[in-house]
C-alpha cells in the first residue's frame, strides 16, 4: 500500500510538473530551470502593473505645476479646513507618494474622499488597485491590510484586483495567515472572485497546509463549481497538492481527474495506482513499483524540482525576476534603487 501511495504521489507530481511548468524536462534536462530558493510571484506583471504605475508617477511628477511639497501642503490645508477633496487630487497624490509619511497623508485623504463619495459608485474610478500598487512598491503591506479591513472604507476596495495584489504581496513575504484573513475579508465584503483569486486562495491554503486550510480550500472549490465557474488548472494543482499533503489521496485523485484528459497516460497511471493501493502489501508488487520508478528516472520522467517550486513558479515571459531581502533597497520587479526607480527609462 505504501508503494502504491508513493506511485500515486509520483504520478500527480509528474502531471503537475507538465501542467504548471510545461517546459521543464526531466532530471537530465537543462531547459527553463527556476532558482529553487528564489521568491516567487503568483500574479503576473499584467495584473500588478507596477512598472506602468511607476511610469505614470514619472509623468505626473513632471507635469506638476509646483513642487511636491507645495502640493502635499495644499492637501493638508484642505483636510484641516474640511474642504472637498477632488478625484484628480487624490489620484495625483497617490502617484506622488514616496515614503511612509506620504502614505499616511494619503490614508487621511482617502478616508475623507470616501466619506464624501461613498454613495457614488457607478462609473467611478477605482482607487483601490492604485493604493495597493503604492503599498506594493513601498513595502507597506501593513497599511494595505489596515485600510482594506476598515469598515469605514467598505466599498472603497470593491474590486478583486485590490485584494489580489495584497494577497500576492503577503504571499511573497510568507505571511500566509494574514493573506488568509484578507481572503476571508474579501468574501465577507462580497467581492467577486476572479480566476487569479482562486489561484491565490488555493496557494495560501496549500502553504498553510492544515486541516482547516484544507477545509477552506475544499469549500471554496465546491462553491465555485456549484456556481458554474471554471477554475484554472493552476488553481486546481494547488488543491491537488494540498490534498496530498493532508493525506487525502482520494480527494486529490478526484480533483486531478477533472483537470486531465481521461486518455492521458498520467491520469491512467494514477487511477491504476489508486486501485492497486487498496491491495495489501505484496513484496513482488513493491519490487515492480521500484522497477517502474527506476525506469521513469532513467528516462528523464522524474523532475528534481520540489512540488512547491513547481507550483509557485510563474512563467518566465510573464514575470520579472526579483530578489527580495529583509531590508529592501531596490524596487520590486525593476531592480532600480528606490530613490531612482521612478525616474528610470
- In tens digits, the chain (345 residues) has pLDDT values of 454 445 455 555 555 555 444 444 333 333 333 444 434 468 888 889 999 999 999 999 999 998 999 999 999 999 999 999 999 999 999 999 999 999 999 999 999 999 998 776 545 788 999 999 999 999 999 999 999 999 999 999 999 999 999 999 999 999 999 999 999 999 999 999 999 999 999 999 999 999 999 999 999 999 999 999 999 888 998 999 899 889 898 898 889 888 765 544 444 444 444 534 544 466 676 667 667 667 766 776 656 666 677 677 665 544 443 433 344 555 544 445 554 444 333
3-class secondary structure, 281: coil
C-alpha cell at 87: 478625484
Residues with Cβ within 8 Å of residue 119, at least 6 apart in sequence? none
Burial of 46 from C-beta contacts in 10 A (0-12 / 13-18 / 19+): exposed
Give residue 24's pLDDT: 42
Cα–Cα separations (whole angstroms), residue 63 to 70, 95, 96, 139, 199: 14, 12, 11, 26, 39
Give residue 41's pLDDT: 61
Q: DSSP characters for 153-196?
A: GTTTT-SHHHHHHHHHHHHHTT-HHHHHHHHHHHHHTTPPP-HH
Cα atoms found within 13 Å of the Cα of residue 120, Cβ hemisphere only? 9
**How many residues does the structure list for the chain?**
345
Give residue 309's pLDDT: 72
Q: Are 214 and 242 in contact (CB under 8 A)?
A: yes
Residues with Cβ within 8 Å of residue 164, at least 6 apart in sequence? 43, 47, 194, 196, 197, 200
pTM attached to this predicted model: 0.74
pLDDT (tens digit per residue) in 224-248: 999 999 998 889 989 998 998 898 9
Give residue 264's pLDDT: 44
Distance CA 35, CA 312 (A): 11
Distance CA 267, CA 15 (A): 8
Distance CA 127, CA 158 (A): 10
pLDDT (tens digit per residue) in 7-30: 455 555 555 555 444 444 333 333
- Beta-bridged to residue 337, according to DSSP, are 330
Give residue 326's pLDDT: 40
Give residue 320's pLDDT: 45
Distance CA 201, CA 213 (A): 10
Picking from 78, 151, 90, 154, the residue whose alpha carbon sits closest to that of residue 119 is: 154
Picking from 43, 44, 92, 46, the residue whose alpha carbon sits closest to that of residue 71 is: 92
The domain limits of the chain are 47-156, 193-283
Give residue 321's pLDDT: 35
Outline where 23-175 has alpha helix (H): 45-48, 50-63, 68-80, 87-96, 100-117, 128-138, 141-148, 160-172
C-alpha cell at 191: 467581492
Sole residue written with cell 464624501:
116
Distance CA 74, CA 64 (A): 13
Amino acid at each position: 500500500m505504501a508503494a502504491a501511495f508513493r506511485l500515486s504521489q509520483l504520478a500527480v507530481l509528474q502531471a503537475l510538473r507538465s501542467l504548471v511548468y510545461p517546459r521543464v524536462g526531466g532530471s537530465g534536462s537543462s531547459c527553463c530551470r527556476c532558482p529553487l530558493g528564489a521568491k516567487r510571484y503568483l500574479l503576473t506583471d499584467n495584473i500588478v502593473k507596477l512598472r506602468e504605475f511607476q511610469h505614470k508617477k514619472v509623468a505626473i511628477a513632471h507635469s506638476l505645476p509646483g513642487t511636491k511639497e507645495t502640493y502635499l501642503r495644499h492637501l493638508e490645508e484642505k483636510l484641516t479646513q474640511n474642504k472637498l477633496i477632488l478625484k484628480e487630487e487624490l489620484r495625483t497624490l497617490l502617484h506622488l507618494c514616496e515614503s511612509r509619511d506620504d502614505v499616511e497623508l494619503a490614508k487621511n485623504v482617502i478616508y475623507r474622499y470616501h466619506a464624501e463619495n461613498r454613495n457614488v459608485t457607478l462609473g467611478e474610478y477605482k482607487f483601490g488597485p492604485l493604493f495597493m500598487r503604492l503599498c506594493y512598491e513601498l513595502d507597506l503591506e501593513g497599511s494595505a491590510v489596515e485600510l482594506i479591513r476598515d469598515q469605514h472604507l467598505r466599498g472603497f476596495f470593491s474590486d478583486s484586483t485590490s485584494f489580489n495584489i495584497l494577497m500576492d504581496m503577503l504571499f511573497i513575504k510568507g505571511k500566509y495567515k494574514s493573506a488568509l484573513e484578507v481572503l476571508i475579508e474579501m468574501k465577507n465584503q462580497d467581492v467577486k472572485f476572479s480566476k487569479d483569486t482562486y489561484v491565490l486562495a488555493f496557494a495560501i491554503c496549500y502553504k498553510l497546509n492544515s486541516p482547516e486550510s484544507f477545509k477552506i480550500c475544499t469549500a471554496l472549490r465546491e462553491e465555485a463549481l456549484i456556481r458554474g465557474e471554471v477554475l484554472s488548472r493552476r488553481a486546481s494543482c494547488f488543491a491537488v497538492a494540498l490534498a496530498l499533503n493532508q493525506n487525502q489521496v482520494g480527494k486529490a485523485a478526484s480533483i486531478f481527474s477533472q483537470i486531465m484528459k481521461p486518455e492521458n497516460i498520467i491520469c491512467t497511471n494514477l487511477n491504476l495506482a489508486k486501485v492497486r493501493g487498496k491491495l495489501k502489501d505484496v513484496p513482488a508488487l513493491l519490487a515492480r513499483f521500484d522497477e517502474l520508478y527506476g525506469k521513469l528516472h532513467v528516462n528523464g520522467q522524474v523532475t528534481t524540482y520540489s512540488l512547491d517550486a513547481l507550483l509557485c513558479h510563474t512563467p518566465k515571459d510573464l514575470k520579472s525576476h526579483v530578489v527580495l531581502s529583509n531590508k529592501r533597497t531596490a524596487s520590486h520587479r525593476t531592480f532600480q534603487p528606490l530613490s531612482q526607480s521612478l525616474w528610470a527609462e
